[in-house]
Amino acid sequence: MKIVLIGYGKMGKTIEKIAQSRGHEIVGRIDVGDNFVQFDKPADVAIEFTQPEAAVSNLKTCFTKGIPVVCGTTGWLQYKSEIEEHCRNKNGAFLYSSNFSLGVNLFFKLNEFLSKLMARQSQYEVTIDETHHTQKKDAPSGTAITLAEGVIKHLKSKTEWVLGATKDPSKLVINSFREDPTPGTHVVKYKSDVDDIEIKHTAHSREGFALGAVLVAEWLAGKKGIYTMDDFLQL
């Protein structure tokens, strides 16, 4: 499989290593300052891990070039409906996830299951903590937002998430911390006067995220349409 890497930072280099170990060819490495529009080599799929300000343009370029794209960049989702419309108009293929770790996606499902159980337990207050390395620019993390959406889906007492403390009980608080070296830790906490319930996912390295992205790219190549990790994992 021929892969173009859009974003060649630490994550891009880790993806490259894993993709090559699985027999794939890297036909392009698009880094900061490179003109992706001029890229003209045949590619079966693109894997996009850049910055929020670059993602929208990169994704549109992939659709225009007819390259299926796996996107792990977070912080740009206010444009998601626009991107999906562009994908459909170009008959493209697109899969976005806030996190490609297989363990995290199982954690997402565990989070929703727990929130269903807690829906009638009004004595508990729920919060989410996320901790990442200091190079991560967006806060809260896309993974934390996905977790928050999973909670809000089932807890009628919460209507939206907010970053940091609030006195509004209808808002779900996400606390963001930046510490080195931390690939990513997420904790969903339910606290009451008598006990606490927590579920936690801790990443030990970037390899889990990178492997998941490569596996998804293998699955997406040759397809058309808009997909999610649920489609890939068949959960």
Catalytic residues: 132, 136
Cα 76 from Cα 45, distance rounded (Å): 21
Cα 1 from Cα 183, distance rounded (Å): 28
Instruction: Yes or no: say if 153 and 162 are a contact pair by the CB < 8 Å rule.
Output: no
Instruction: Yes or no: say if 146 and 99 are a contact pair by the CB < 8 Å rule.
Output: yes
Cis peptide before 181 (omega within 30 of 0): yes
Cα 15 from Cα 207, distance rounded (Å): 8
Q: How far is CA 108 from CA 39, 104, 116, 155, 220, in A?
A: 36, 6, 13, 15, 21
Angle between the N-to-C axes of helices 207-220 and 10-21, in degrees from 0 to 180, rounded to the nearest 10: 60
Per-position DSSP letters for 179-213, written without gaps between them: -SS-S-EEEEEEE-SS-EEEEEEE--SSHHHHHHH
197 residue type, one letter: I
